[in-house]
Structure 1
Amino acid sequence: MSGPITLRTQKALVTRYKNSLATAIVQGASVLANEESPKMLAIEATALRETAALVEKALENFTKTADGMEEITEEQDKQIQAYVEEVQAVVANAETLLIRIGAKRTGLQEATPMDEGRRPTVTKKTIVELPEIPIPTFDGKITDSENFWALFDASVHSQDLTGLQKFNYLLKALKGSAREAIKRYPITEANYAAAVELLHSKFGDKDKLIRSLQTRKETASARNSQLTEQRRLLDYLFALVTQLEQNGIVLNGSFVAQKILAKFQPDLQRRLLKQRVVQGNSEELWAVKQLLTDLDTLIKTEEQVSEMLPENEAFRGGTKGRPPPRRYETTSGQRSQMRQNLCIYCSDTEHNSLRCPKVDSARNRREFLKEHKLCINCGKPNHISRECLRSGCTLCDGDKHHFSLCPKRLPTALSSAGPTKSAYTKSSRTTQQPKRADAKQPTSSAKTGAHCINSENK
């Protein structure tokens, strides 16, 4: 049985080798940047590889000793794990540098003319350095498993590397539950294959993946009716349906297609259904992939139209939130004047929102807009300022706030309106509501009647 003294001795040895490797990495990076001789690069790579092997062997002995200790506290276990990860990071840096040195050696060797007839154009092509392919990361989400292994296989697993090198790259790529799963294996060349097999069995369950994709498809929805949200929802569903089909789940038929279509705005639904009726398409053969393709065409058209129209004429996502049609229309000039004079805080037509005496501070006005779910930028419902298509304040360099909240307009407007007491404060919000235009006001006769009753009671 190993004890603390043995562990400390082995840790000291690992630390010494690790420091030597760190020095070798710095020297190797300098050689890589300045050396053009394949022979010198090979010498540096050999020294770096042998130093890294010493670190790995010492670290393997250290981890075996730590695993063999019977009495170890949770804090000590955390410290050992942190130390092991620190050493592994240095080894991984060395492995990366070795790959870069090897690539440069190969390029220089191929660039050396083999005979006098070699064309210089070939030499130029062989020394071109392609950008490094980034190694993907994986945190254990089963829906990301297929994409991760496809990229990791191309970048690392199928490359001409040792099992230990691949294990180091795998450790750097894993996070969360995926990294926790392979902690049971010491970092050795032989354990790489076992770690890969464990990850495939734990996070590559096809049935579980299909259930997860189906659930995400059923619960997918748009946050609001804006065109950008319709596009986001469509792209999300496209990815889910494609992944389901790659796993053998084909989504066809009217029932499934109608459920997915219902997730979009009514205006898009009507246009797509009308298109199908005109074309005489069969309900039984309605494929979800074709449905999404048709929706993509409609949304793409709306996006192009929105770019050409003024902001206030952009796609509004159906009729939700629009006022009902009026029997007697006013002229456009009258409507514009009414909108300008109608106060959004109390619906009074005698003053506009900037001069409202009932909600008279910027703070209370912001609270009013938030409580009534109105946009801070334009004062209209069904969206927030981040999604608002109207331009920002002209006096504040385009800042997104309503003109009645503008700090450059507000003091002047309120001083000209005269001193008033706000009717919308925190203490009165629950009992006092702002006066609406259609609220009935007490008449003079009602006041007189109340006065008479009070006189009789005296």
Structure 2
Amino acid sequence: MSIAIRQMIGPAKARLLSYIQEVDQILMRDGEGSQERLLFIRDAKKLRKQLDRVIQLIAEQNDKWTKYMADRPTKDERDAATAEYTDFNSGEDSFTSVLDKGREAFDKLESGIEDEASTFSIMGDNAEVRRPAATADERTNASFLTEDMDMNIGGHDANAPHLTRPSATAAPHYQNIPPPQSAINLGPINLLRFNGDREKWAAFWDMFDVAVHSTCKSDIEKYSRLLSHLDGEAEKLVRGYNFNSATYQVVVQALKDRYGLNHVLADDLQAELMTLPAAKETTDSLRKTSDSIERICRQLKQLGTSDEHPLLRTTIKSKFPRSFLSKLAEREQLADGRWSVTQLRRGIQDVIAVREEVQRNVDALKETSHKPEPRDPKRSDEQRAESLNKAERSPSLRRKIGATKNVNQVQSQQSKL
């Protein structure tokens, strides 16, 4: 059965991609006159009908496939069917991603039709702007619009904007209607994969909630996408559940109970702080340790755990060398009273920032002191030419050159003999 479904989805996906491109093209039309607006409405409604038809086709086939997976009698067959579905529906150009893009294109096209149709809507009393008397062409256009509405181009749609029929002899009226707010298309979201790391659960669920949980209508589709983004321990946790729409909410709650409990996350973070390696004397090591402490403390505060516990203060100080703590103590003595944990963390940041600034200055001085003077090519050539001239004017050098010439002449005569 899945083969037949794939054979239906493949061509439908190609048509949907083509229709999405046509939506972008038709929305870029620059029509100012009545005739252009009427043609836009006619073509847009026709495209809307085609777009809706192929979206419904792909959605129906997807529902059939998910039902087929849920109806497999054994767990091995369900796993095999799920793997087949995941392989076919993977990547940025998966048919479910294209389906989401098609729905976005449908909404944009619907908004464009409403914008253009509002131009011809006669509402009468408020903020009305009248044009001069209608010309013959405008009366023809108004008649064309009347026929268009009678024919109900694009099929009947209960959600389509209501167009009030204008008189063929009267000039159309235009109502000042606030322009609709345009939606920003951010494109598909690349979901994270979750392998059971509690620290990454919140980020994973926030993205999954936006992209799938609060967007898709079918629980079985949500379930399928959730399974395709689980690895390791998290995948093992949900492996034994039945694959059907009723189980989806149960699986989500099981994941939240295992990885989303605040007190469990807080315990893990506190344990991480306790086992954090102590910093060395180098500035890089101090900064790395400080960043880890900041990350842990900020997450503890977000989970509702107090970050002012005395034990936390002692634990943080134990992660730094004695020389660094001496600098920190000097700053604390200059302050009014004993530092809180928040003030302690801020003091650590300040001391490290000073050390980093000193390190940058020292490195800059080293580079300057070891940097060779720039060579002037023009001056070097001039110096070389001057040296040659001096050498040529030297008597001893001329005698050597003359002797060399005599030796060469003798050798040449001997070779001829």
Question: What is the TM-score with the length of structure 1 in the denominator?
Answer: 0.55
For the pair 1:115 / 2:103, whether they are aligned, the reply is no
Give the alignment partner of residue 295 of structure 1, picking from 340, 344, 348: 348
- In the TM superposition, what is the alpha-carbon distance from 1:194 to its structure 2 partner? 1.1
1:245 to 301, 321, 333: 301
Tell me, yes or no, if structure 1 residue 104 matches structure 2 residue 111: no
For 1:150, what is the secondary structure of its paired residue?
helix
Tell me the secondary structure at the aligned position of residue 100 of structure 1. helix
User: 1:32-82 CA deviation, whole Å, 9 max, x = no partner?
Assistant: 234453322111101111221222222222x3x223xxxxxxxxx4x8735
Partner of 2:125: none
Residue in 2 aligned with 1:84? 82
Contact 2:280-2:320 within 8 A present in 1 as well: no
Query: Where in structure 2 are the equivalents of 1:230-269 lying within 5 Å?
Result: 230-252=286-308, 255-269=311-325
Partner of 2:186: 130
Aligned to 1:6: none
The answer as to whether partners of 1:45 and 1:101 remain within 8 angstroms in 2 is yes
Q: Answer yes or no: is the 8 Å Cα contact 1:21–1:90 preserved in 2.
A: no
Confirm or deny that 1:310 pairs with 2:310. no
Q: Mapping of 1:45-64 within 5 angstroms?
A: 45-61=55-71, 63=72
Q: Distance in 2 between matches of 1:223 and 1:182?
A: 40
- Structure 2 distance, partners of 1:264, 1:19, is 64
**CA distance in structure 1 between the aligned counterparts of 2:65 and 2:200, rounded to whole angstroms:** 34
- Cα offset for 1:30? 3.2
Do the aligned partners of residues 99 and 187 (structure 1) sit closer, same or farther apart at CA in structure 2, a change above 3 Å counting? farther
After superposition, the Cα gap between the structure-2 partners of 1:264 and 1:46, relative to the gap in structure 1 and judged at 3 Å, is same
Structure (1/2) with the larger helix percentage: 2
* Residue pair 1:138, 1:174 contacting (<8 A) in 2 also: yes
For residues 82 and 129 of structure 1, the distance between their equivalents in structure 2, rounded to whole angstroms, comes to 35
Matched, 1:26 2:10: no
Structure 2: segments with no counterpart, 5+ residues: 27-46, 120-173, 372-417
Q: How far 1:273 moved relative to its partner?
A: 1.2
Distance 1:223 1:16, change over 3 A: farther
1:149 is aligned to 205
What's the CA shift for 1:311? 5.5
Q: How many residues align?
A: 289
Instruction: Measure how far apart 1:99 and its partner are.
Output: 1.3
Cα distance between partner residues in 1 of 2:336 and 2:189: 48
Listed one character per residue, the Cα deviations across residues 317-363 of structure 1 (whole Å, up to 9, x for unaligned) are xxxxxxxxxxxxxxxxxxxxxxxxxxxxxxxxxxxxxxxxxxxxxxx
- Give the Cα–Cα distance (whole angstroms) in 1 for the partners of residues 353 and 263 of structure 2: 35
Change in CA separation of 1:149 and 1:279 when aligned onto 2, cut-off 3 Å: same
CA contact (8 A) 1:21 1:94 kept: yes
- Displacement after TM superposition at 1:179 (Å): 1.6
In structure 1, how many angstroms separate the alpha carbons of the residues matched to 2:178 and 2:188?
24
Alignment match of 2:221 (pick from 162, 165, 170): 165
Identity %: 19
Map Cα deviations across residues 199-253 of structure 1 (whole Å, 9 max, x no partner). 1122234443232111100111256443233222222211211222233332335
After superposition, the Cα gap between the structure-2 partners of 1:25 and 1:119, relative to the gap in structure 1 and judged at 3 Å, is farther
Give the superposition deviation at 1:138.
1.6
Quick one: structure 1 residues 289 and 280, their matched pair in 2 at CA, closer, same or farther if it must change by over 3 Å? closer
Q: Distance in 1 between matches of 2:187 and 2:269?
A: 34
Shift of 1:254: 5.0
**Alpha carbons 1:223, 1:229 under 8 Å: kept:** yes
Q: Which AA in structure 1 matches 2:254? A: L
TM-score w.r.t. length of structure 2: 0.60
Give 1:155's aligned amino acid. Answer: A
Q: Is 2:244 the counterpart of 1:188?
A: yes
Please state if 1:197 is matched with 2:250. no
Cα-to-partner distance string for 1:369-407 (whole Å, 9 max, x where unaligned): xxxxxxxxxxxxxxxxxxxxx99xxxxxxxxxxxxxxxx
Residues 150 and 297 of structure 1, relative CA distance in 2, 3 Å threshold: farther
Shift of 1:120: 11
| Partner amino acid, structure 2, of 1:30 | S
* Deviation at residue 313 of structure 1 after TM alignment: 7.0
Q: What amino acid does structure 2 have at the position aligned with 1:66?
A: T
Tell me the distance in 2 between the aligned counterparts of 1:55 and 1:39. Answer: 25
More contact order relative to length (CA 8 Å, sep ≥ 6):
2
* Distance (Å, rounded) in 2 between the aligned partners of 1:127 and 1:252: 44
The 1:26–1:301 alpha-carbon spacing in structure 2 relative to 1, beyond 3 Å, is: farther
* 1:126, distance to aligned residue in structure 2 (A): 1.6
Whole-Å Cα distance in 2 between the matches of residues 118 and 216 of structure 1? 64
CA shift for structure 1 position 256: 3.2
Q: Is the 8 A contact 2:279 2:321 kept in 1?
A: no
2:4 aligned partner, one-letter code: R
Q: CA deviation at 1:21?
A: 2.3
Matches within 5 A, 1:400-411: none
Q: 1:128 to 1:148 in 2, by over 3 A?
A: closer
1:52 and 1:91 in contact (8 A); partners too: no
| CA offset digits 1:259-303 (Å, max 9, x no partner) | 312312444322221111111322xxx432332222223323433
What code does the residue aligned with 2:332 have? R
Residue in structure 2 matched with residue 226 of structure 1 by the alignment: 282
Q: CA 1:293–1:94 in 2, change beyond 3 Å: closer, same or farther?
A: same
Task: Quote the Cα distance in structure 2 between the aligned partners of 1:121 and 1:230.
Answer: 57
Distance 1:161-1:80 versus aligned 2 partners, 3 A rule: closer
- Tell me which residue corresponds to 1:273: 329
Question: More displaced, 214-223 or 129-138?
Answer: 129-138
Could you say if the C-alpha distance between residues 119 and 228 of structure 1 is closer, same or farther in structure 2, counting changes exceeding 3 Å? farther
Paired residues of 2:194 and 2:229 also in contact (CA < 8 A):
yes
